Structure 1
Amino acid sequence: MQQRLSAYHDGELSAGLAADVARHIEACDECAAELSSFESLSSDFAQAPLPAIPLHLWQRIESELKPGVEPIPEPVTLPRRLADSISRSPYIAGFVSMAASVLLLLGFGLWYGGEEPAAAVALHSHHDEHDVSHQHLAEFTGVMNDYLQKLHRDPDEAEQMLLAKYNGERVDADDAVRLVGYRPIVSGGLPDGYSLASTSVLKMPCCTCVKAVCRRNDGSTLVLFEHDDQQAAWFGDRPSNMATCGDKECCLIDLDHSIAATWKQGSRNVTAVGVRDQAEVAILVEWLEKKAGRAGVGIEGV
């Protein structure tokens, strides 16, 4: 949760994750205090006056551009209120210290003559990676939206589309161990009224995950994804809420014709797509938890 506080403060989380953080903050004094320090720091920065230009600045620049003369940086002081806010939070103090170091390196690099300093290259690289990650997530969300529409109309077409998009390989339990390092949780069986139609491994943007296509007795389809990350963001801005299913906290997402549910299972996460209601989620949660506990499947591998 602490890793998400900054994004939560800046309004960068999906609706589902933002709701999770908001609920957590209500019950966690430590995170509430950390969030308050973000808000206080933002306010102090907004109110802080711009520093005055030092006297004889241009004369100093002219003299320091002469060969053999090393520039002497002016000491930088912060307004007292801003300095007090930074000192109250070690996390923020560390962040501001790092930011100041980067700015100092950038300043000296530009001062000495034009080559982009390594700090700037690293900073640009970080932003590039961040942008690429967001692009992949946006693309993945679009693919999942197409998959959900096809799953409702034609489950077989949806299956082929996802396999083709993410280099899917149909496997049995032993092959899955070789590819992902753990035995799929569905290899322990499914509740009465469900049968396993196929198991495959997909190389998705978030991780390499196991996908199990399950059939109900009436022929309808339910799909289970077993993955490393926790991604309600798979489903974009669709409405979501937290609920207790069996003995686990689950995030439920509205898919128009059905729902999706994601929950923690051992060291990984399970996302069920095409679920009818919360009661069906509870059945799956309780069954998979029981089978995993008996067989040691789907928790820490084999």
Structure 2
Amino acid sequence: MSTNDCKTVQPYLSAYYDGELAAGQATTVAEHVESCELCAVELSSFESIGSDFAQTPIPANPSDLWERIERELPTAAEPETLSRRFATFATWVRASPYGGGLVSMAASALVMLGAALWFGGDNNPDMAGGGSMAMHGSHGHQHDGKEAMSAEHMAEFAGVMDDYLQKLPSDPDGAEQMLLTKYDGETVDSDGAVKLVGYRPIVSSGLPEGYSLASTSVLKMPCCTCVKAVCKRSDGSTLVLFEHDDEETAWFGDRRQSMAMCGDKDCCLVDLDSSIAATWKQGSRSVTAVGVRDQDEVTKLVTWLDKS
């Protein structure tokens, strides 16, 4: 990334200020801000907003606030009063003398959370009575494959990916089998992928000239359930495309990262020693290409997949 590439850096300034970027991305942004007055000023605006927020006085809340919240929240024993109780509580919040403050916002958030838990919990009896709430999905499962990975799982995942990357150039079939075994992989066609992930793989529309599709599989990885497409170049070398719901670029541990424009996409490029990995947004999902030769090849893939 060039040091004056403000268009690439600016979308990451907020995440940089919040400490949410991977180490390589954070370094790239920091280096740019040091030499760019415009981006430095924009970064300072986040500090100003944070300071203003910290100095905002928090209205005092009455001692019986939480008791009043609890009385207004519905219970499983009173399903017919759900809409009425939420409407009553919303009116109470708006009319209260502290309704415009942070306490009121927190109370409103609690109400919305209660609604989500109610409708998502199949009227689970654990949510009744004394206010204890257990989070369940429509089938009673908390994990839907899309929540953020814990630091422990992230470190383990990065280690698995590192083993995969070392094995891929010399033994691509062995590398693929390793991932299939580790993450309950299932080799599928396009229709099979739709049944498992709910969408048709992006490679089902074809690949650029000089590439062929060797296999498609679905993996239950720690970050999400994703589609993996193994592609072969005309010289027999391997390129792998992961299509996934999360936007994590920390799959590759502490390897050096940079941001660049590839076609019309912001891409995170990761140095894999003899090749690179690239992650970019493709519609509502993300694509990570592993085993890419250079940025020009990333641009070629991005442009093709945009048209497919």
TM-score normalised by length of structure 1 = 0.62
Aligned-partner Cα distance in 2 for 1:273–1:177: 23
**Aligned residue number for residue 159 of structure 2:** 142
Q: How does 1:78-97 map to 2 (within 5 A)?
A: 94=102
Aligned-partner Cα distance in 1 for 2:224–2:167: 23
| 1:34 aligns to 2:46 (yes or no) | yes
**Aligned residue number for residue 172 of structure 1:** 189
Letter in 2 for 1:34: F
**Aligned residue number for residue 15 of structure 1:** 23
**Aligned residue number for residue 295 of structure 1:** none
Aligned-partner Cα distance in 2 for 1:18–1:164: 34
Counterpart selection for 1:229 from 246, 256, 266: 246
Relative to structure 1, is the Cα distance of residues 32 and 208 closer, same or farther in structure 2, using a 3 angstrom cutoff?
farther
**Aligned residue number for residue 294 of structure 2:** 277
Q: Does the Cα contact within 8 Å between 1:152 and 1:257 map onto a contact in 2?
A: no
Cα-Cα RMSD: 4.0
Letter in 1 for 2:166: Q
SS of 2:196's partner is: helix
Deviation at 1:235, TM superposition (A): 0.9
Q: Does the Cα contact within 8 Å between 1:169 and 1:200 map onto a contact in 2?
A: yes
| 1:213 aligns to 2:230 (yes or no) | yes
Counterpart selection for 2:271 from 245, 251, 254: 254
Relative to structure 1, is the Cα distance of residues 286 and 20 closer, same or farther in structure 2, using a 3 angstrom cutoff?
same
CA deviations over 1:26-54 (Å, ceiling 9, x no partner)? 65977642334447889x9xxxxxxxxxx
Aligned-partner Cα distance in 1 for 2:44–2:204: 42
Letter in 1 for 2:251: W
Letter in 1 for 2:238: T
SS of 1:152's partner is: coil
Q: Does the Cα contact within 8 Å between 1:9 and 1:38 map onto a contact in 2?
A: no
Q: Does the Cα contact within 8 Å between 2:25 and 2:258 map onto a contact in 1?
A: no
| 1:202 aligns to 2:202 (yes or no) | no
Aligned-partner Cα distance in 1 for 2:42–2:18: 19
Counterpart selection for 1:155 from 168, 172, 181: 172
Q: Does the Cα contact within 8 Å between 2:149 and 2:222 map onto a contact in 1?
A: no
Aligned-partner Cα distance in 2 for 1:270–1:37: 33
Aligned-partner Cα distance in 1 for 2:13–2:157: 21
Relative to structure 1, is the Cα distance of residues 287 and 9 closer, same or farther in structure 2, using a 3 angstrom cutoff?
closer
SS of 1:153's partner is: coil
Relative to structure 1, is the Cα distance of residues 167 and 278 closer, same or farther in structure 2, using a 3 angstrom cutoff?
same
**Aligned residue number for residue 140 of structure 2:** none
Return the structure number with greater helix share. Answer: 1
Relative to structure 1, is the Cα distance of residues 131 and 166 closer, same or farther in structure 2, using a 3 angstrom cutoff?
closer
Aligned-partner Cα distance in 1 for 2:39–2:156: 35
Larger Rg belongs to: 1
Q: How does 1:184-195 map to 2 (within 5 A)?
A: 184-195=201-212
SS of 2:168's partner is: helix
Aligned-partner Cα distance in 2 for 1:35–1:225: 36
Aligned-partner Cα distance in 1 for 2:148–2:180: 26
Q: Does the Cα contact within 8 Å between 1:16 and 1:232 map onto a contact in 2?
A: no
Aligned-partner Cα distance in 1 for 2:52–2:289: 40
Q: Which moved more, 1:131-140 or 1:215-224?
A: 131-140
CA deviations over 1:244-284 (Å, ceiling 9, x no partner)? 11121111110001000111100100000000001111111
